[in-house]
Structure 1
């Protein structure tokens, strides 16, 4: 008898998947990367910016498992979500510099797994910072987790806030990309061609370009760019 898989995926489906006669302008899979808990949230957004939940969940891996097996578990879950839900784009939370590199490295590894999963499926893969996602759903880049959960619930018309916070963050990431676009992870000065063939930086609207410029200025202050930080 085979050993049980260490994967524990908690999924909450949306309201029946794709409705007959309803065509989604975008289907975005948002990912809140984490080794112990990886939040996944998939939404449909129409041309009028109305968002609807498709599915939300969390992939859990035990700390007792070796890192490569934990990453494999997450990779398998991502492949499953992509195959079942057929998103048009993936948006992954972009990690930024922290003093505790031991906590950043596992998150960065999960980000790499997510980006490869998207590229393998031929999808556009974008990245947005936590502040960008918070600002997109709440209007404030410093909003707390409870506020993000409450606004995600309101935007998607859910009966209750998505829990745990990792799930809400994944949905906020998806909403952010669907509404703002972009998400190259650079200052907007270089065109980036995704696996899906789109050129994200040059295709930004004026509003998206202004947002990217503001984020670039914030990074250059040294708050998140270690190259600019003084000791």
Structure 2
């Protein structure tokens, strides 16, 4: 199973694909989508949509884990982030990919063990968990963390269901 993780942003969007085979996870591909600064906002959103569609078509993930909107002090920034998320959600829906949303707190807790972990801690854990050598952009490792969080959550739900329990 391949899961696409996405860390949305209007300036930089991170993406990462994680494949799970048995109990092992591996990074298939990761990177960032960075629209040109000079592009108008609609062009940036269209680029996010087109880029994610291309990634989905190339790697064929079965599900997408995307970081949910968190509380923001700047309303204008929150609206732009919401628009970017919308373009990414529509791209996944357009391609028929299942969408799962996780808060930054849930993602960090899942991979770092602490919901208020730093981006650097998330990056370190992604390198350890996925055996990544070399450097990746912090937004790409945040996206990989979303995918790992989803895979861990899906495994937990499946195990609980199989054991006759209930996991929300």
Q: Is the 8 A contact 2:102 2:146 kept in 1?
A: yes
Q: Quick one: distance in 1 between partners of 2:34 and 2:166?
A: 37
Asked whether 1:118 is paired with 2:92, we answer yes
Aligned to 1:181, the other structure's residue is in SS state helix
Aligned to 1:30: 5
Q: Quick one: distance in 2 between partners of 1:92 and 1:44?
A: 16
Root mean square deviation, CA, Å:
2.0
Deviation, structure 1 residue 46:
2.1
Asked whether 1:93 is paired with 2:67, we answer yes
Q: Quick one: distance in 2 between partners of 1:96 and 1:53?
A: 26
Q: Is the 8 A contact 1:180 1:208 kept in 2?
A: no
Asked whether 1:108 is paired with 2:113, we answer no
Task: Calculate the TM-score normalised by the size of structure 1.
Answer: 0.66
Q: Is the 8 A contact 1:90 1:118 kept in 2?
A: yes
Aligned to 1:42: 17
Asked whether 1:175 is paired with 2:159, we answer no
Task: Calculate the TM-score normalised by the size of structure 2.
Answer: 0.90
Q: Quick one: distance in 2 between partners of 1:115 and 1:61?
A: 17
Q: Quick one: distance in 1 between partners of 2:153 and 2:109?
A: 10
Unaligned runs of 5+ in 1: 1-25, 183-199, 210-231
Deviation, structure 1 residue 123:
1.4
Structure scoring higher RCO (CA < 8 A, sep ≥ 6) equals 2
Q: Quick one: distance in 2 between partners of 1:166 and 1:44?
A: 19
Question: Within 5 A, what are the aligned runs for 1:75-224?
Answer: 75-162=49-136, 164-181=137-154, 205=161, 208-209=167-168
Q: Quick one: distance in 2 between partners of 1:62 and 1:147?
A: 29
Q: Quick one: distance in 1 between partners of 2:49 and 2:167?
A: 31
Q: Quick one: distance in 1 between partners of 2:30 and 2:166?
A: 29
Aligned to 2:107, the other structure's residue is in SS state helix
Unaligned runs of 5+ in 2: none
Q: How many residues get paired?
A: 163
Q: Is the 8 A contact 1:152 1:161 kept in 2?
A: no
Aligned to 1:23: none
